[in-house]
Amino acid sequence: MLQAGMTVPELSAQNQHGQQQTLRQLLGHKGGIIYFYPKDNTPGCTLEANDFQSLQPSFQELGYTVIGISRDSVQSHAGFCSKYGLGFTLLSDQDGSLCQAFGVWQEKTNYGKTSMGIVRTTFVVDGQSVIVKVYPKVKTKGHAEQVLLDLRVTS
């Protein structure tokens, strides 16, 4: 998994509108919050997305953009954004290249069954694409608020 001090890979993916974008193109003047989540329209992922959406104006005031990434399709992301009024970018990583590059595609165990999947992880990145903080194995409740509090302390 990528760690603080490392540079974000220069990769691109399609957003919920079908436009190809690089992560660097999406960063705010101070940087971005890049969060990886398992699946659109599931309870934990919906909670996390709604929390980031409700706090998006505060992140923007600090100069940060919010970027969500999962392996869902562009169409799934478009529906997810429409259904919940999400106003930030969701990138579709259907081939898994972003998940692999960031190291979030890992073996997971759920109810005794082992499989590969996205380990919910958030990366805070500065305006030069350098990772300044990593939140591994995120629990959704209160996570977006914690990221905002941490940014307020360091900004």
State how far the alpha carbon of 80 is from the alpha carbons of 16, 23, 110, in Å: 9, 20, 24
Q: Give domain status of residue 104, yes or no.
A: yes
Q: Give domain status of residue 3, yes or no.
A: no
pLDDT tens string 28-65: 889 999 999 999 999 999 999 999 999 999 999 999 99
Q: Give domain status of residue 33, yes or no.
A: yes
Q: Give domain status of residue 130, yes or no.
A: yes
Q: What is the CATH number of the domain that holds 69?
A: 3.40.30.10
pLDDT tens string 68-98: 999 999 999 999 999 999 999 999 999 999 9
Residue 28 identity: G
Asked if residues 113 and 28 have their Cβ atoms less than 8 Å apart, the reply is no
Cα(117)–Cα(47) distance, rounded to whole angstroms? 19
Looking only at the bridges linking them, the beta strands covering 89-92 and 64-70 are parallel
Q: Give domain status of residue 4, yes or no.
A: no
The count of domains in the chain is 1
The residues, ordered by sequence, that sit 6+ positions from 110 with a Cβ below 8 Å of its Cβ are none
Statement: the pTM of the whole predicted model exceeds 0.75:
yes
Q: Give domain status of residue 125, yes or no.
A: yes
Q: Which residues are catalytic?
A: 45
The residues, ordered by sequence, that sit 6+ positions from 91 with a Cβ below 8 Å of its Cβ are 13, 14, 15, 21, 67, 68, 69, 77, 98
Q: Give domain status of residue 7, yes or no.
A: no
What proportion of the chain, given as a percentage, has pLDDT over 90? 93
Banded pLDDT at 150 (limits 50, 70, 90): very high
Q: Give domain status of residue 2, yes or no.
A: no
DSSP helix, strand, coil percent of the chain (3-state; round to 5): 35, 30, 35
Domain that holds residue 101: 12-154
